[in-house]
Amino acid sequence: MEGLLRLFFADQGSVEDLVRSLDATARGAREAIDDLRGFADEYLETGGPFPKRLHIVAMAQDLLTRTLSEIEGFCSAASSEVAAWDTTVGLGLTDATRDRLKQIQRRGR
């Protein structure tokens, strides 16, 4: 969530600040995915501490790893895009921003 807040208020800092934040968020997401994969390995081998709850735990971990994977991919791509900016202030409706807003409009339709 910190990465999202830093993105939302990125115009209060530099391009470099935002790139660092996006990269750190992507790394954090990857580390969490790796940790959760380790739990999945354990659950498959031993059943884990609560084997009768695996159907619930696995579903929750599935949602969490999918979400983290999306965060990792978004932050990695956004970091590359932001690195090309001269500033975080006043860019407004660029072509990339227009495309992003149109993609948002299409989601869930």
Q: How far apart are CA 26 and CA 69, in angstroms?
A: 9
List pLDDT tens digits, range 23-59: 999 999 999 999 999 999 999 999 999 999 999 999 9
State residue 109's pLDDT score: 83
List pLDDT tens digits, range 3-17: 999 999 999 999 999
State residue 42's pLDDT score: 97
pTM for the predicted model, two decimal places: 0.91
What confidence tier does 80 reach under pLDDT thresholds 50, 70, 90?
Answer: very high
What confidence tier does 102 reach under pLDDT thresholds 50, 70, 90?
Answer: very high
Q: Cβ of 75: how many Cβ atoms within 10 Å?
A: 24
State residue 1's pLDDT score: 79
How much of the chain exceeds pLDDT 70, in percent?
100
